[in-house]
Amino acid sequence: MNLIIGIVVVFGCVLGGFAVHGGQLGALWQPSELLIIGGAAIGALIIANPMRVTKKVAGGFVTLLKGSRYKKEHYLGLFAVMYELLSLARKEGMMGLERVIEEPAKAEVFKKRPLILNDHHVIEFIQDYLRLIISGDMDEHQLEALMDQEIETHHHDGEEPAQAMSKVSDAMPGFGIVAAVLGIVNTMGALGGPPSEIGHKVAAALVGTFLGILLAYGLLGPMSNALERMARDESHFYMTIKTCIMGFLRGQPPQVAIEFGRKSTPGALRPTFKDLEAQLRKKA
């Protein structure tokens, strides 16, 4: 929704201001300039990145339309899941915990929280580290270092589309100049013709520069920042899981370990203590 609102505001104000000053909006419609700038941007994106990143950039438009995946409801569901898993480990031992995490789709603790169950990567993250705890082959410091490394790698992967789009955004003014130069070359070939024709070609050339700058700073740059923020939101979610697990490993009871996780949640998404308490009571 923010993407649509932002686009409407940016283009509405720019084009509206142009029209208020007596500009003819039709003069800004130059398909050839769009072809040059857009084609060059897409080509540069393909050259600079592996196809998997290019596909992620294309999917980023859909992601921005949907908004951030992680909201307060996801954190509440996560805390309820982690509380039940850690309580199970405390009451029944690691063997009881192992039975639940091996088939999460069949476990009631996950089935009651579809927001968590449907997030394959989160389920896998929880499974992997609870399995390592069950095996007893790593101490808490090694486990924490491994978690940090995986979260950092995951964050880097998540940032790739934002970085790729940012590079294209930086190049857009240059592509606008390319389109403008080609327009001027075209204009030079029409010298001696009617003034109206020459004026039309000069206007088309200037529109190339205008579009390159507007698309860079009014669209692609802000979109890359939004994708980067979403990658951070995802990393915060994994950091919260890590905090809950590490609190438990350091001897804290499940409810205190979950409170550690709540305190590590970003402020805008952090459930209140009463919200969390109500969610934990619901599990009974």
Question: How many angstroms separate the CA atoms of 230 and 158, rounded?
Answer: 8
Helix residue spans in the chain (DSSP H): 2-20, 31-48, 51-66, 72-102, 108-111, 114-117, 120-135, 140-188, 195-215, 221-249, 254-263, 273-282
10: nearest Cα among 228, 211, 231: 211
Helix axes 51-66, 221-249, angle to 10 degrees: 90
pLDDT at residue 284 greater than cutoff 50: no
CB neighbour list of residue 203: distance below 8 Å, 6 or more residues apart = 27
pLDDT at residue 163 greater than cutoff 90: yes
Q: For 82-119, what is each residue's pLDDT tens digit? A: 999 998 888 877 777 888 888 888 888 888 888 898 88
Could you tell me if 266 and 71 are in contact, meaning their C-beta atoms sit under 8 angstroms apart?
Answer: no
The torsion region of residue 29 among left (phi > 0), alpha (psi -120 to 50) and beta comes to beta
End-to-end CA distance of the chain: 37
Question: How many angstroms separate the CA atoms of 184 and 209, rounded?
Answer: 12
Q: For 8-54, what is each residue's pLDDT tens digit? A: 999 999 989 988 888 788 878 888 888 999 999 999 999 999 999 99
pLDDT of 205: 85
- At 127, the amino acid letter reads Q
Could you tell me if 33 and 208 are in contact, meaning their C-beta atoms sit under 8 angstroms apart?
Answer: yes
